[in-house]
Structure 1
Amino acid sequence: MPARTQLARVDLRGRTTTTAELRAALPRGGVDVDSVLHQVRPVVEAIRDRGVEAANEFSEKFDGIAPTTVRVSADELQRALDELDPAIRAALEVAIERTRLVHADQRRTDKTTQVVPGGTVTERWIPVARVGLYVPGGNAVYPSSVVMNVVPAQTAGVDSLVVASPPQAQFGGLPHPTILAAAQLLGVDEVWAVGGAQAVALLTYGGTDTDSAELEPVDLITGPGNIYVTAAKRLCRGLVGIDAEAGPTEIAILADATADPIHVAADLISQAEHDVLAASVLVTDSVELADAVDDALTAQLEVTQHQERVATALSGKQSGTVLVPNIDEGLRVVNAYAAEHLEIQTADASAVAARVTSAGAVFVGPWSPVSLGDYCAGSNHVLPTAGCARHSSGLSVQTFLRGIHVVDYSEAALDEVAGHVVTLANAEDLPAHGEAVRLRFESLAGGPRQDQR
């Protein structure tokens, strides 16, 4: 008989906890980005100083091969699409269609507010000029991440974007062909064969490719990656914008006795197969369900392909079952946890989901698994991790837009408020601010204003 899989349990029944105590009690893993900064800093600095030459040295070291040219040729992109399995192409086309449909409704329009007659403030939404979209390699191939990064950028109106993904030795130094095919399917004509921290640095600083073509730097970098990618983002932030410092993936499931333990176990395993650091957390008011989920995990783990990886993730400190006295307290727990992915598998799941305030994405009921959101729901799967959903959102069209206020006041409109501007400037001991207004009217009048604004 195989050893029984049992998630570690945190029993909150009969306990009153503050928010701080609750956060400390919940399973949480994460990574220490600071611990690798000393390893990543020399990579970033080398690419700042030596560009593509250094990037290719690190590709050779970390990926086992350096590409002939960093930029993938148009012929290679088209060849990857031509040779793509028709079933994968059809699935990608559905994912692209649905993701475009959802993200199209996120577009922002300019809005002009008339504050007073002759005085308006317009908020203009301007897309970032050039963005770098990172698609990781490693344990899996992620064409879905190409879709999730590219679609909102294109929908926002970004004119120039580049996808970066690690070179693969088995493909002659090119990124995985499915990544290339997805890019071509989306109309992306610039893909770089570079991964890891060196990709973030090269996107930040740009360089000259081995064929003397210029690789232009970007203004914003988005997309998930490992701890080294995250560390490079931290080091380059300021020179470029970043979407977030992504940590290991996570799922929380709020479930009661009505949930199917087979579904719950399958969904916990589906996230655990990403990474040994992935977090799988069940929050329930039913001990019977918790026991049944452990039984289902034991059975399903025997036949899952990535058994060792999944078992390691499920037994880590980041995973576990949290027992609560009722679903109201379960909601308090999941809102404190602020999962990247949160499933609601309870009676009246829609009403319960409506009370969720902190999650990257919420999946309602038994027929909305996280796997659907990963690929074909139309939602975005680049989401905040490590509790950041308490204050941050996932990738969206808004990520690629900048709001700019345009202030347009007439002389009369400024005159109406000039005295208040001067008063507030003096209250803040910034008299020159007030003078910048007062002197406008003094010069118009040919001398000092009587009211001494």
Structure 2
Amino acid sequence: MPIPILQCDRNSKDQYSRFLLGAREDLSAATARILPILEAVRTKGDQALLSYTEKFDGIKLSQVTIDPKQFKTNIDPKIKEAFLRAKANIEDFHLAQKRESWSKIIDGNRLGVKYTPIPSLAVYAPGGKALYPSSVLMGIIPAKIAGVPSIQLITPPQKEGLPEILVWLAQILEIDRIVTVGGAQGIAAAAYGTESVPKSEFIVGPGNAYVAAAKSFLSGQGLIGIDSPAGPSEVCIIADGSANAKWIACDMLSQAEHGEDSSAILLTTDLTLAKRVSEELEIAFVERPKRLQMKQKAIYENSAVLVFPNIDDCIWFSNELAPEHLEIQTENNEIIFSKIDHAGSVFLGPYSPVAMGDYISGTNHILPTARGSRIYSSLGVDTFLKRVTFQEVTKESLETLYPFVKLMSELEGLDEEHGTSVKVRTKGHE
């Protein structure tokens, strides 16, 4: 059962329309189940956290927070080296995103912007098989650079104890505390605050459907800020006949192993390349059978190779798709990239697989999915900054501009107080 190869043009919507639906996880069932949990945490605090941890994780805790500085870790030096290299690259990339407050004179008045960090952040790190310590780096480093003063890590407890890698990362990143509570109850603790868990103003990080539902619901209630709404992982690849079919197949499978609902879309003008990629996928399934059923379902049901008549159509479709990850493997990468308007993160050239950005190159891997990059950006320093505008109006400018304020406030029916508040400051009315 090979991957679908579809010959398309812009008018063949019946061929490609299902890929533009922007797949998001249906959280309605999960939301219904987590609402009582959220309410219990809101009203009962730590007691609810301890109770749900025993119920869902089978672990009886005496407390829900720990100070990472009090623990000793024994991390393999080679693993340390890898994470420290990643940390340095991520810091270098995000330091370039720092914002400086500014002001300028406009019509005689000093106007400007002052950037201030959000006051607090919680980073959620899943446990068990879904342990992604790299996401801890991605969530915390830009927040630190933005100047967020209070950061806590939320993660479910493990029967064998917290993963040492998370404790070590908490130490080198100087996180205030680790909250050993997972699931919706962990998100609720961050949003509401409890006796031992301070309230956070913002939360980032991946999680299961219950975590996603809790983040979405609590954000909708205005209780906590979140990163962009998340759906299944996805990659789109624009490639021509010069591309390496085996490498493309590997890159498609690197997304497929995230989950059976992941998608990988190849856009090309070369039918020969399309067929070779399909063959390479089948070879890979034989040679690398780990998570085979998951990868096959993602490739056969959610992925495709779309063969368009020209490269401009490939670019058009990519912008419509607005993928989480976009790889460009052609003879004219920069020209194509110049025409890309919507993508979470772009990977240029044959030696730029998504996995480089996932771990080590320095860009952030917390990205909008489900066509979210049409309106959202990747996580970065800006995510954790607020923009405060200010103005200092001079007496001379107030005198000059009052007649305009008078006319505009009268038009809007607000001259009695709006207009008067300026008038009383003008010459002869002080």
**TM-score after normalising by structure 2:** 0.93
For each residue in 1:279-330, what CA deviation from the matched residue of structure 2 results, as whole angstroms up to 9, or x when unmatched? 11111222221211111111112224222221222223x3222221121100
Corresponding residue for residue 198 of structure 2: 216
Indicate how the Cα distance of structure 1 residues 127 and 67 shifts in structure 2: closer, same or farther if over 3 A, else same.
same
For each residue in 1:354-385, what CA deviation from the matched residue of structure 2 results, as whole angstroms up to 9, or x when unmatched? 22111000000110100000011110000000
1:344 and 2:328 matched: yes
Corresponding residue for residue 450 of structure 1: none
2:2 match: secondary structure: coil
Indicate how the Cα distance of structure 1 residues 291 and 144 shifts in structure 2: closer, same or farther if over 3 A, else same.
same
Contact 2:202-2:224 at 8 Å conserved across structures: yes
1:47 and 2:41 matched: yes
1:382 and 2:366 matched: yes
Indicate how the Cα distance of structure 1 residues 41 and 128 shifts in structure 2: closer, same or farther if over 3 A, else same.
same
1:438 and 2:423 matched: yes
In structure 2, distance between residues paired with 1:165 and 1:47:
16
1:41-190 alignment, distance < 5 Å: 41-74=35-68, 78-80=71-73, 83-117=74-108, 119-171=109-161, 174=162, 176-190=163-177
Cα drift, residue 28 of structure 1: 5.2
Corresponding residue for residue 211 of structure 1: none
Contact 2:229-2:372 at 8 Å conserved across structures: no
For each residue in 1:194-246, what CA deviation from the matched residue of structure 2 results, as whole angstroms up to 9, or x when unmatched? 222112110011112xxxxx321011112222222221112211112112221
1:169 match: secondary structure: coil
Indicate how the Cα distance of structure 1 residues 60 and 357 shifts in structure 2: closer, same or farther if over 3 A, else same.
same
2:65 match: secondary structure: coil
Indicate how the Cα distance of structure 1 residues 169 and 277 shifts in structure 2: closer, same or farther if over 3 A, else same.
farther
> How many residues of Structure 1 are paired with residues of Structure 2 in the alignment?
426
1:236 and 2:218 matched: yes
Corresponding residue for residue 201 of structure 1: 188
For each residue in 1:147-199, what CA deviation from the matched residue of structure 2 results, as whole angstroms up to 9, or x when unmatched? 0001000000111111111212232xx3x222222222222231111222112
Cα drift, residue 142 of structure 1: 0.8
1:294-373 alignment, distance < 5 Å: 294-302=278-286, 303-316=288-301, 318-373=302-357
Cα drift, residue 75 of structure 1: 5.0
Corresponding residue for residue 233 of structure 2: 249
Indicate how the Cα distance of structure 1 residues 310 and 64 shifts in structure 2: closer, same or farther if over 3 A, else same.
farther
- The unaligned stretches of length 5 or more in structure 1 are 209-213, 447-453
Specify the code of the residue in structure 2 equivalent to 1:53. Q
Indicate how the Cα distance of structure 1 residues 60 and 252 shifts in structure 2: closer, same or farther if over 3 A, else same.
farther
Identity %, equivalent residues: 34
Contact 2:22-2:371 at 8 Å conserved across structures: no
In structure 2, distance between residues paired with 1:34 and 1:315:
26
Contact 2:123-2:140 at 8 Å conserved across structures: yes
2:275 match: secondary structure: helix
In structure 2, distance between residues paired with 1:267 and 1:62:
36
In structure 1, distance between residues paired with 2:21 and 2:284:
22
**TM-score after normalising by structure 1:** 0.89
Corresponding residue for residue 11 of structure 2: 16
Contact 2:49-2:64 at 8 Å conserved across structures: no
Contact 1:27-1:319 at 8 Å conserved across structures: no
Specify the code of the residue in structure 2 equivalent to 1:79. K
In structure 1, distance between residues paired with 2:176 and 2:261:
34
Corresponding residue for residue 273 of structure 1: 257
Cα drift, residue 437 of structure 1: 1.6
